[in-house]
Structure 1
Amino acid sequence: MHIGFLFNHHGGHQVAHALPVALALLRRGTNARVSVLVSEDCEGEVRRMAAATPGPAPEIIRLHPPSRLARAANRASGRAIPADIVSTLHRNLDRFRALDALVVPEKTSLMLKSIFGLEALKLIHTRHGAGDRAIGFDKASGRFDLVLLSGEKIRDRLAAADQLKEGGHAIVGYPKFDLAPPNRPRLFPKDQPTVLYNPHPSPALSSWYRMGPQVLDWFARSDRYNLIFAPHVMLFKKRITASLSPFALGWNRGPRADHYEHDHMLIDTGGPALFDMTYTDAADIYIGDASSQVYEFIRRPRPCFFLNPHGHDWQGNPDFTHWRAGHVLDDIDQLDAAFAEEPRLTPAMRERQESLFAYSFDLQERPSSERAAEAILDYMARQ
């Protein structure tokens, strides 16, 4: 049996959600051959993470790159059209055809069956993140042969959307939490409360396009808080970002040069610390919008704020369940009151965060990556 793990994306943020499972399969000593297939944008993060994890080294296979035409189409669209990702799938069909199963953290790989005819290939979805956005529970989410779920919340929402197959899903926990804790470097010269601002790239949901630079301005003027600006790595990867559910377009401009000049502000838009929970572990307070990273943050309950410049009617909407973990701010002026005194977590909010976390993640003494590896082998044994 030959099981592949595919990382074919413009950023390395998905690697931590599936690579630990591949490494767990290798440590298990199964007779299955395990291969890790990587595009050039993901290879560095795969090799970095594999080197930092004890155990056998994985077989890493560099995929044939996309065609020049596909690269050109991607650039011409401001990187909004992933023609290069689709081309990479097409140019590596022989490699995928040789596999019995392919484990992926994203959905574009469904094209291997729907477009490219590899109907015998079992597609296994690890998902990436445990967030609430509607796109995580769409029809594509139900087209995989096996889906690995972080907890009851994901199972319940997929079931409500009629996207669960009998015998085609398993609750395994969150393999990303199995990663070795990151080093704890000193991030700022001055010890004071540290705020993490973590906007999502989706133009329909992100606070960046309408409020983000003003948030950076506010903290640039502050002498009482440190700020980590660590957006989703895809926020500035594309000149134009499209969201599909609901549809919206966003034109991406990064922080201004003067935002980098303050020693109490750390701006990281592409480094490996975006992927290994360095910043969610280091911060005292969270500011965000649609990113599932807030669930990683509340693993240790702390104050949270959510920015709502789009005026979403969020209360009672399951797509915004994570906003119940903190306070919602509708405009930039509300930052003054929110941060006039250092935010504190009330007992009631701590209890709410703990409840949201437990519903999202089924964590047990046994590592999640080992549970996921076993679920894959059990599923393949039934085929």
Structure 2
Amino acid sequence: MFRVAFIYIAEPYQCYHTASVASALARHPGYQVTEYVNFPETVAHLSRIRRDLNAPDLPVKFFKKSPLAKLLGRAKRFDRERIVILRENIAELDGYDAIVATEYTAGILKTMGLKKPRLICIMHGAGDRLVNDEVLIRNFDFTLLPGPKVEKYFQNLGYLNTQNSKIIGYPKFDVFEAVRQKKPFTFKNGKDFVLYNPHYQKKLKTYDTCLNKMIAGFDKQDTYNLLIAPHIKIFHKGFGFYKKALKKKNTHTVFIDTGSPAMLDMTYTASASMYIGDGSSQVYEFLANPRPCIFLNPKKLEWRGNPNFLHWTLGEVVETPDQIMPAVFRAFDRHEFYRPLQEKLFLETFGSPVLGASQRGADAICEYLGSENQKT
């Protein structure tokens, strides 16, 4: 019997990338899967995913937390909190045969004294953005990748090779396939909506300079609604005041989501007619069905030729808030130019077929652990 722990050390968005793999693995004979969570709300998301997949719930445990970890959590020092929690749970996690995570931070478990379990990463995101702790991928014993683009990137860095990694696709699409059977999101007025998906990273963020002017611009026209779904980490600071301030900006044509499951399960990326973004790789999820994209560059970053901004080649890039609305109204006319590249990069990012990554991931874990067991 292989005992495998799936760990969700960060916010609930992580479970949309790995929970379906956990369910598929639990169906394999000889595998016992337990899920560890940090945030209480993650449990509700896991249950929701299982309902949509028609899969049974799996055993869930909360990470043990010292007073220090709890204090860091209340102060929203989540990066520091994650490290403390992982260190405090080493002894329990060391009792498993494998630990599966989608957070690079979990790579530090090996430096903290983790000995017995094989450490497995199911990579989330779609690349095109420099991540400070991506070097930790070298600490994982086995890594499951979404597609050839990311594989090539990490192989060129020398972090991965064909023996310690495998392409499986993007498990989140399996979750979405189940979710989309439900009614898609629409505004009450029935008009198409544009999705603005701002990232939290300081060097990339655009919501501080573009959000209010974008809202004003959409208020002056009656063709599109505007839906704003920020990266959930934008709300780490402010102790809830920023959420309240954003909610006050909602109108019958503008809706700002500050924390619903639809921000995480691709409901908005599937239903929107157009995408406006900056550094988020969610644009690739949007391009499962190619549609017009606009990218914001108010900081006037030198992005051309930079692989971390490859997705900015998939739509018009505007540099001032005043240019946003004109770009919106010409986006469909210009989409014919961008669509072939959107289709090409989507395939390079996620491979083919799109669906079935969860089962492929579970099978790959079984094959890997089985071969490692034979070595010992």
TM-score, length-scaled by structure 1: 0.89
CA distance in 2, matches of 1:169, 1:252: 40
Instruction: Map 1:58-137; keep pairs closer than 5 Å.
Output: 58-64=58-64, 66-76=65-75, 79-80=76-77, 82-115=79-112, 117-135=113-131
1:7-40, Cα deviation, whole Å (9 max, x unpaired): 111x21111111110111123x321111111222
Structure 2 unpaired stretches of 5+: none
Cα contact 2:315–2:335 (8 A) shared by 1: no
Cα–Cα, structure 1 residues 354 and 46, in superposed 2: closer, same or farther, change >3 Å?
same
The equivalent position to 1:172 in structure 2, one of 168, 172, 176, is 168
Moved more, 339-348 or 164-173: 339-348
Instruction: Find the counterpart in structure 1 of residue 141 from structure 2.
Output: 145
Secondary structure in 2 matching 1:369: helix
Secondary structure in 1 matching 2:186: coil
CA distance in 1, matches of 2:249, 2:22: 40
Instruction: Find the counterpart in structure 2 of residue 216 from structure 1.
Output: 215
Instruction: Find the counterpart in structure 2 of residue 279 from structure 1.
Output: 268
Query: Structure 2: which amino acid aligns with 1:17?
Result: H
Cα contact 1:26–1:56 (8 A) shared by 2: no
Instruction: Map 1:155-194; keep pairs closer than 5 Å.
Output: 155-179=151-175, 180-182=178-180, 183-194=182-193
Instruction: Find the counterpart in structure 2 of residue 12 from structure 1.
Output: 12
Cα contact 2:3–2:33 (8 A) shared by 1: yes
Secondary structure in 1 matching 2:179: coil
Are residue 230 (structure 1) and residue 219 (structure 2) matched?
Answer: no
Cα contact 1:125–1:144 (8 A) shared by 2: yes
Secondary structure in 2 matching 1:296: helix
Instruction: Map 1:14-29; keep pairs closer than 5 Å.
Output: 14-27=14-27, 29=28
Cα contact 1:301–1:350 (8 A) shared by 2: yes
Cα–Cα, structure 1 residues 137 and 94, in superposed 2: closer, same or farther, change >3 Å?
closer
Instruction: Find the counterpart in structure 1 of residue 320 from structure 2.
Output: 331
1:209-250, Cα deviation, whole Å (9 max, x unpaired): 33223222322333221011111111112349xxxxxxxxxx
Q: Aligned-residue CA RMSD in angstroms?
A: 2.2
Identity, % of aligned pairs? Answer: 34
Q: How many residue pairs end up in the alignment?
A: 366
Q: Give the superposition deviation at 1:81.
A: 5.1
Query: Structure 1: which amino acid aligns with 2:280?
Result: S
Are residue 314 (structure 1) and residue 331 (structure 2) matched?
Answer: no
Cα contact 1:43–1:62 (8 A) shared by 2: no
Query: Structure 1: which amino acid aligns with 2:163?
Result: G
Cα–Cα, structure 1 residues 60 and 143, in superposed 2: closer, same or farther, change >3 Å?
same
Q: Give the superposition deviation at 1:74.
A: 4.5
Structure having the higher helix fraction is: 2
TM-score, length-scaled by structure 2: 0.91
Instruction: Find the counterpart in structure 2 of residue 360 from structure 1.
Output: 349
Moved more, 285-294 or 90-99: 90-99
